[in-house]
Amino acid sequence: MKPIRKAVFPVAGLGTRFLPATKAMPKEMLPVVDRPVIQHVVDEAREAGIEHFVFVTGRNKGVIEDHFDKQFELEATLQKRGKSREFAMLEAELPGAGQTSFTRQQEPLGLGHAVWCAREIVGNEPFALLLPDMLHFGPRGALSEMMEVYAETGGGNVVAVYEVPRDQVQQYGIVAVGEKRGKGFRITAMVEKPKPQDAPSNYMISGRYILQPEIFSFLEKQSAGAGGEIQVTDAMLRLAEQQPFFGYAFEGRIFDCGSKIGFLTANVAYALAREDVAPALRAELKQLLDQT
């Protein structure tokens, strides 16, 4: 069983739901409290032991690359002004030399195509795939838990899932639940946006995956699916005919930062989890709610 060393982050989306904020700033750089959305997801991958971070970018995404690089002028200014705490934080969070790679998705052909664009960097080894819009908020990162499922099952493919109300299943990819395997379970089927009466469960695919490299050969030949885009779920369905898939049910909260409500709620939740911010924020929220 090969270890999971690399993680792929598709960050080429336009972020049209957040215009005009995203006219000049990538949606992945919008802050949740004081950290960009993409930083939260990279933190989750780092916690899980990921060594190499692969970003699939698009036009106007150069600021993401800058964020994960040294900022000599800023660091010099921090040192000159004696801001040692801020300087140490930036140094601790900076990926090491050679730990980040950036490749370009030249056309918006879907998530599956974005993943395929990373094939040469990933190579012939299993990898993690994390969708930056979906923040998994809990005492431990979703990918760390998935790594344990991966070890318990002896490899294969692992997909994080999240329980949603039955009347919402038509909005998501849904899995069928098989026998339990340690912290996980065998996935026996995957259905894209089923009607509530036809759904095999109410567990949605939540944007965290551990995938074997054979997925790339299916993505290469994959024709456009829903929305006229190349869908990673279609390739997963074909791969599932040859390899086992396992699910891990995330027990925290998931915030879809691709939506305004999800993004705003994430800011509140992450702020309330911080001792330096929570007391003052609670007081402000109470005052606002009392006035409405």
List the beta bridge partners of residue 184.
181
4-26 pLDDT, tens per residue? 999 999 999 888 899 999 988 99
**The domain containing residue 259 runs over which residues?**
6-290
Q: What is the pLDDT of residue 227?
A: 64
Task: Specify the DSSP element, H or E, that contains 181.
Answer: strand 173-181
In a domain, 26, yes or no: yes
Domain count of the chain? 1
65-94 pLDDT, tens per residue? 999 998 889 889 989 899 989 889 888 888
Q: Say how far apart CA 99 and CA 131 lie, in whole Å.
A: 19
| Residues present in the chain in total | 292
Report the percentage of the chain scoring pLDDT > 70: 98
Q: Say how far apart CA 168 and CA 247 lie, in whole Å.
A: 19
Do residues 52 and 125 lie in contact, with contact meaning Cβ atoms separated by under 8 Å? no
Q: What is the pLDDT of residue 226?
A: 60
Mean pLDDT within 30-39: 96
In a domain, 275, yes or no: yes
Q: Say how far apart CA 147 and CA 78 lie, in whole Å.
A: 37
Do residues 248 and 161 lie in contact, with contact meaning Cβ atoms separated by under 8 Å? yes
**Residue 148 neighbours by CB under 8 Å, 6+ apart:** 182, 183
pLDDT above 80: residue 148: yes
Do residues 199 and 174 lie in contact, with contact meaning Cβ atoms separated by under 8 Å? yes
For residue 98, count other CB atoms closer than 10 A to its CB: 8
**40 alpha-carbon distance from chain centroid:** 9
Task: Specify the DSSP element, H or E, that contains 127.
Answer: strand 127-130
Lowest mean pLDDT among 132-146, 213-227, 231-245: 213-227
- Closest C-alpha to 172, from 130, 231, 90, 215: 231
Q: What is the pLDDT of residue 47?
A: 96
In a domain, 143, yes or no: yes
Tell me how many degrees the CA angle 63-211-160 measures, rounded to the nearest 5: 85
Lookup: tokens for 215: 């997925």
Do residues 147 and 49 lie in contact, with contact meaning Cβ atoms separated by under 8 Å? yes
Q: What is the pLDDT of residue 221?
A: 84
In a domain, 145, yes or no: yes
pLDDT class of 225 with cuts at 50, 70, 90: low
Q: Say how far apart CA 47 and CA 140 lie, in whole Å.
A: 9
In a domain, 112, yes or no: yes
Mean pLDDT of the chain: 92
Q: Helix or strand or coil: residue 276?
A: coil
165-174 pLDDT, tens per residue? 999 999 899 9
Q: What is the pLDDT of residue 93?
A: 86
CATH number at residue 165: 3.90.550.10
Tell me how many degrees the CA angle 181-146-151 measures, rounded to the nearest 5: 60
Lookup: tokens for 278: 């929570």
In a domain, 1, yes or no: no
Q: Say how far apart CA 277 and CA 6 lie, in whole Å.
A: 33
Q: What is the pTM of this model?
A: 0.93
In a domain, 103, yes or no: yes
Mean pLDDT within 216-244: 86
